Chains A and B, each alone.
Chain A
Amino acid sequence: MQVSPVRSAAVNQPATVTEVQVGIADFKVASQPDRLITLGLGSCVGLTLYDPSTRVGGLLHIMLPDSTQFSDVTKPAKFADLGIPLLISEIRRKGGRVSNLQAKMAGGAQMFSGLNEKFVLNIGERNIAMAKRTLKDLGIVILAEEVGGNRGRTMILDTENGQVIIRTVGVQMKVI
């Protein structure tokens, strides 16, 4: 592998805020001043959990509501029911306090127009409902949400202050 001079110069720059990308059906945990970002939520639901005392936060990109309907659960972070407990244990491992956790949610949209029976069983709505139920069972409060509708969203958690930024096509950025 070739290391270019440009690259080594970049390494010497002062440390700034790192933006950690969270892929689909994945989760990541970070602490201040870093940011967690997930791009292009459609029917998927983005869930952030944040502990304001330690400023540790996590972001989960949920694809499907319920793992019990599937025989193959090789990627548990895909599901709301399995992914949320996984995210919580990772936050605990990174020093966050579970009793302090505050949740924020975005996504769960109905992306397509035109009727099709496969979309009548609206996955977005089911993702939202299952995430809420799982959080309730765990006693975690949902502070804010930006869910439903028919637009895709990008979600960013700022671990500095727990703010969640929502980007939508053709609409001004929103902070929840």
Chain B
Amino acid sequence: MTEQGVVNDIHIDALQEISNIGLGNAATALAELLNKKVDMAVPKACFFDVEQVFLMVGGPEEVVSCVNLNVEGDVPGTVLFIFNELSTYKLVDMLMGQEVGTTTEMDAMCESAVSEIGNVLTGSFMNAIGGMTGLAMNTSVPMFAFDMFGAILSTSLVASGHWDDKVLFIETVFFQEQDEISGHFFMLPETGALDRLFEALGISEGV
């Protein structure tokens, strides 16, 4: 079923719904972390060929921050949380309680702030899916990079070993008052991992 090209509309709908719940949970976690109200646009979930993914977010040379986590358990794979340069700086400012626009470059402090946000977002996302499906999912200690999108994505793909597979891509926008933060969530599932997810949702066969 998760062979290339045969994930059908029902699966996409299910993933869309899961993304909505998962990222809703993530937005709540972010609000708690920032101690401010955070709204979220309904996320868009899609499957893409790896070659197409390189053209997203702003292209291979776009500067982004990336939190990379390994997921272990019933749905093993790699998860990437990516924010473009501007959204990264905004996140840092919000977390530090500074006026948006204060941060204009990355340092070690910013790295750990963004890394922590990515960790919290991914953890709450995974918890939501776990709670909904009864599947066990644990994430590893996050790794962080701030550089060209293409360099980060290709390195993550090579390290995870998922080069030939399709990538689940979820795009969302978080709002904190008038400030928008666009986040891109990528899941590189190991072979068979999505089958287990669909199975847990009761849509594994005959749809």
Contact = CB atoms under 8 A, between A and B. Distances in A.
B150 A151 contact: no
A116 B61 contact: no
A127 to B, nearest CB: 9
B1 interface: no
Nearest to B62: A40
A29 B153 CA distance: 25
A6 interface: no
B51 A152 contact: no
B107 to A, nearest CB: 12
Given A39-B150, A40-B151, A113 B159 contact: no
B67 to A, nearest CB: 9
Interface string A66-104: 000000100000100000000000000000000000000
A12 B137 CA distance: 58
Interface string A105-126: 0000101111110110001100
A111 B115 contact: no
B159 A39 contact: no
A169 B63 contact: yes
Contact of B148 (A119, A124, A169): A169
Interface residues of B, number: 31
A24 interface: yes
B120 interface: no
Instruction: Pick the most buried of B152, B154, B163: most chain A CB atoms within 10 A of its CB.
Output: B154
B123 to A, nearest CB: 15
B144 A113 contact: yes
Nearest to B161: A118
Given A114-B141, A118-B70, A153-B151, A63 B158 contact: yes
Given A42-B155, A111-B155, A118-B70, A152 B141 contact: no
B106 to A, nearest CB: 9
Given A42-B150, A42-B155, A114-B141, A72 B164 contact: yes
A124 B151 CA distance: 11
Contacts of A119: 143, 159
Contacts of B155: 42-44, 109, 111-112, 123-124
Contacts of B145: 111-113
A57 B186 CA distance: 36
Nearest to B111: A113
A116 B143 contact: yes
25 contacts: A23-B54, A24-B154, A39-B59, A39-B148, A40-B60, A40-B149, A42-B155, A44-B151, A63-B163, A109-B155, A111-B147, A111-B155, A112-B155, A113-B111, A113-B143, A113-B144, A114-B115, A114-B143, A116-B140, A118-B159, A119-B159, A123-B155, A152-B150, A153-B148, A153-B151
Interface of B: 51, 54, 59-61, 63, 68, 70, 105, 111, 115, 140-145, 147-155, 158-160, 163-164
